[in-house]
Structure 1
């Protein structure tokens, strides 16, 4: 103790007791750099990211609202040190946890109550929960109904609440779902939320989902280019019609793809030979066909196969006849042949009005079909004006026979000059018809599609429409998509349990929206978290799984964490 009292630590060196002028002078003070470097503190940038994640976002991966509430209840039970008081969550604990969860959600989304009060009349109840005042306060109603709880529609937990309510109500529609939620909650944007949940529900989509749809396709070149009548022809069958002798017959419809003219032929069966005979009669009367468009009927397929077996090079060398090209529409796509299906409907409506329940003979029915053909070919293709000074409307008959003439020339005297003038006049008339056809008819064929649709993609899971009830439609996987000349996908090759088949987009019903940004973002977050959990929680996994680096979990103090025996 005496040594400590005599130490210089109390008084310092002796010259400090003298005047300042007598202190020793020193121009250089030696500094120990090693000692300074040891004492120097280095600034280290630890973290620049601020965790702004809300509490509700931490509960994103719980799929049910009731499970989220139970998790909150277990947290507060642990906080009160009553973990093993009872083995289940009581009703009081569940209600308390739900109130706490609602207050947390409201605190995250409704920070500024001044702006909120301008839109809704808000007040706090005894549990400090924001409620909406309604005009039912004087009624003998439940508190939740007269003053519903205010909730944001864009919150994750609120979405889980509506999803669970939708399942509890047996996948009811959006209107009934909104009505049930209104009994307790006032959810902003509730209509959009309910429609979105019903739309994305897999079970509801399987029963009520809509098929893919595409914009209107541009008309093919065969329907708009200037060709001769019936050079591009669509063919289909109508019937059967019953004759007086109890036999059946069918009508073969030939329609021009460009000028919309029609020609009818009768056949006594649906065989390939009967159709070939009708095709021969048509070519003999109307001229040669370059391209034929048909559906996938067996008789049309048989005719196409027979024509494929013909050596057309030999036929061309002998008769200078070109091969007929056949183009079939995809299976189960009757609307692709709508330009001949519509004319079949016109014919059927005319026969219903003319015949009724009468049954005619073969000759009588053939005569009636010729009359119907003349009437249909005389229908106007353009606007019919009431002004007498306007030109007569364009009809398919004008492109088949030209203008009708009542003049009868003297057959005993034929002047070559008059024939040449008449021929030039007819050529000029046909050219004028084509110019009017382009300006008055083709100019009116505008697109009427404005809505954006879901595009088919490879790998989508779909329902494939069949003739059975929707409950028994098979599931399919899109293996390949077929893109048209305009860049729009309208066909897809689908793999089902029975094999692969080609189907149009209107026969495919998507079960999942693959281009949904919300779902994609949620899936990416889940995948990243799964990767992190695999690399951090499983140090004993092989290097091919964990990326080759051995990961060891440590505490904040730096000590290694030893996993319990049940995880080893």
Structure 2
């Protein structure tokens, strides 16, 4: 019985093959044809001739097993079709694949063009390689948004927008129908929350306006789209933008070391540990001769008090005389800190050359005989002397204020220069070291004097 069924099946198969031959169902690529035969038979490109005829006239194909066959009752045929859910999953995978709104629209436009070409019978009139048009990109965007809006859920936040369906897409309602503004601005497209295109659109607008802030991005977004809880989404996307994080990242600062012990001691008298630096020069008149004078700034490393002396020259003897006057007025000193002479950044060349010529051995002998220690900062490390460098900047600021923003060019005598330096010293020592409080019960601010 089974042999008879097999023979019947073979006979039906031969009949089908003959039908294929009659209708030119030949597979020329695998069967082999000469070049001349291949050129003369265009059906391998256009397909069989019956495809250009109505579907009712297409030839049918008989099943291999007849209904009278004994085995036909034991065979179950399951038809597998592309359901809407599987199509949605494929589209979702396509959307999730792209991280750019522009690339997603172009990819969707190419797929829609291919779909349109396959549905038309005159395929040769279409060129698949032509550049995409603006209309095709807009159609692709509409198709993407229509698919995304399938996940919209009717809740209180959506109903408050008075949603309306226009051109197959859900838009924001409202009372601006007669307003003379663009249609997209009157009725924005509603984008479902937590959808992938939500992130792509926000990221695209952020790049179009050259990485501006969240408020600017939100204003541009509302010109066409409406995202539920858009402000939180915009801040989330902008917080992950690599370009913005690079440009707005605060400059990293090196953690500073602990303050030295002499900077935080409160039981030592003022100027026990002192910083010294030069500034100037200043010109004075002595008859018809113009001479140079320099300022020696002494600052207490603990109380931040300031003492200023006038040095006539930059030689070693003038430096020692200035220190002796300072000690005579302010009391004994244990340690003096100063620059090394080669790293006076910001001073003029003459001051640098003169300080390099100071006899450091003679100064060291003088400090030893007066029972205090002289410590020099490392070369090319002016930041070690930030305490006195900052006070010199304040001195320059006061000089400009006292002279009404005019440069101090020439003083009539040493007496006028000494008076000028004493006034600057007094102002520096009256500056507040703490913040002024608004509470009347608080104590007065702390000042060096």
CA separation of 1:264 and 1:123: change in aligned 2, threshold 3 A: same
3-state SS in 2 of match to 1:144: helix
Q: Which of 138, 141, 149 is residue 189 of structure 2 equivalent to? A: 149
- For structure 2, list consecutive stretches of 5 or more residues without a partner in the other structure: 2-88
Contact in 1 for aligned 2:433/2:448 (Cα 8 Å): yes
Give me the whole-angstrom Cα distance separating, in 2, the residues matched to 1:81 and 1:330: 75
Q: TM-score, normalised by structure 2?
A: 0.55
Give CA deviations for 1:61-96 in whole Å, capped at 9, x if unaligned.
645321111112233444556397432334333222
Q: 2:219 aligns with which of 179, 190, 193?
A: 179
Aligned to 2:128: 86
Residue correspondences, number: 338
Q: Does 1:138 align with 2:178?
A: yes
Q: Aligned-pair RMSD on alpha carbons?
A: 5.4
187-196 or 297-306, which deviates more: 297-306
* Residue in 1 that maps onto 2:165: 125
- Secondary structure of the corresponding residue to residue 176 of structure 2: coil
> For 1:73, what is the secondary structure of its paired residue?
helix
Cα gap change, 1:57/1:394 in structure 2, threshold over 3 Å: closer, same or farther? same
CA contact (8 A) 1:256 1:262 kept: yes
Q: Distance in 2 between matches of 1:393 and 1:173?
A: 41
CA distance in 2, matches of 1:356, 1:311: 35
Check whether the contact 1:133–1:147 (CA below 8 A) recurs between aligned residues: yes
Does 2:413 align with 1:373?
A: no
Please, what TM-score do these two structures have when normalized by structure 1?
Answer: 0.45
Correspondences of 1:333-482 after superposition (within 5 Å) = 340=391, 343-344=394-395, 347-348=398-399, 351-352=402-403, 359-360=410-411, 361-374=413-426, 376-377=428-429, 396-397=448-449
Q: 1:288 aligns with which of 330, 333, 337?
A: 333
Question: Where does residue 403 of structure 1 map in the other structure?
Answer: none
Trace 1:546-557 onto structure 2 (pairs within 5 A): none
The answer to whether 1:257 aligns with 2:257 is no
Q: 1:312 to 1:368 in 2, by over 3 A?
A: closer
SS in 1 for 2:163: strand
2:334–2:372 contact (8 Å) kept in structure 1? no
1:184-195 superposed matches below 5 A: 184-187=224-227, 188-190=229-231, 193=234
Is contact 2:277–2:298 with CA below 8 Å preserved after alignment? yes
Q: CA deviation at 1:325?
A: 5.0
Bigger radius of gyration, 1 or 2? 2
Residue of structure 1 in register with 2:270 after alignment: 229
Partner of 1:73: 109
For 1:284 and 1:219, how far apart are their aligned partners in 2?
A: 29
How far does the alpha carbon of each residue in 1:403-453 deviate from its partner, in whole angstroms, 9 at most, with x for none? xxxxxxxxxxxxxxxxxxxxxxxxxxxxxxxxxxxxxxxxxxxxxxxxxxx
Secondary structure of the structure 2 residue equivalent to 1:324: strand
2:377 match: secondary structure: strand
Distance 1:376 1:302, change over 3 A: same
**Pairing 1:27-106 to 2, within 5 Å after superposition:** 59=95, 62=98, 64-79=100-115, 82=118, 85-87=127-129, 88-106=131-149
Determine which of 150, 155, 160 is the counterpart of 1:114: 155
- 1:379–1:134: structure 2 CA closer, same or farther, 3 Å change rule? same
SS in 2 for 1:161: helix
CA shift in 2, pair 1:353/1:74, >3 Å:
closer
Counterpart of 1:46 in structure 2 is none
Equivalent position SS for 1:121: coil
- The alignment partner of 1:113 has SS state of coil
How far apart are the structure 1 equivalents of 2:249 and 2:357? 43
8 Å Cα contact 1:253-1:263 kept in structure 2: yes
Contact 1:222 1:232 in 2 (8 A): yes
Contact kept? 1:60, 1:156, Cα under 8 Å: yes
- CA distance in 2: counterparts of 1:316 and 1:254, whole angstroms: 15
User: Take 1:377 and 1:201, find their aligned partners in 2: how far apart are those partners?
Assistant: 49
Instruction: Note the C-alpha offset of 1:100.
Output: 2.5
